Amino acid sequence: MDETGTEEGFVSFRCGNCREEIEASLDMVGVEAACPGCGARIIVPSPAQLQAMKRRTIRIEIGDLFGEG
């Protein structure tokens, strides 16, 4: 799998509700479906959308949560 979450015609992503990993064919990009894990509504993202989401990820240290430094 490459850094955009695609592998030979498929896109891999996680359900926003249950965090189940889902793989869908690229022809399903933009299609609304039910998560096979929990039944929540999902829309299959494009590889470009997955890449944009990765750039927004912010990591924090556990100490930051408790004001430790």
Does any domain span residue 1?
no
Between 9 and 55, the higher pLDDT residue: 9
Q: How many domains does the chain have?
A: 1
Instruction: Give 32's Cβ-side CA count (13 Å radius).
Output: 2
What per-residue confidence (pLDDT) applies to 30? 95
For 15-69, the pLDDT digits (tens) are: 999 999 999 999 999 999 999 999 999 999 999 988 887 777 667 677 766 766 5
Contact 1, 12 (CB under 8 A): yes
What per-residue confidence (pLDDT) applies to 28? 96
Does any domain span residue 43?
yes
Between 18 and 6, the higher pLDDT residue: 18
Which structural domain, as residue segments, surrounds residue 15? Answer: 6-65
What per-residue confidence (pLDDT) applies to 65? 65
pLDDT-derived band of residue 2, with 50, 70 and 90 as boundaries? very low
Burial class (CB in 10 A: 0-12, 13-18, 19+), 6: middle
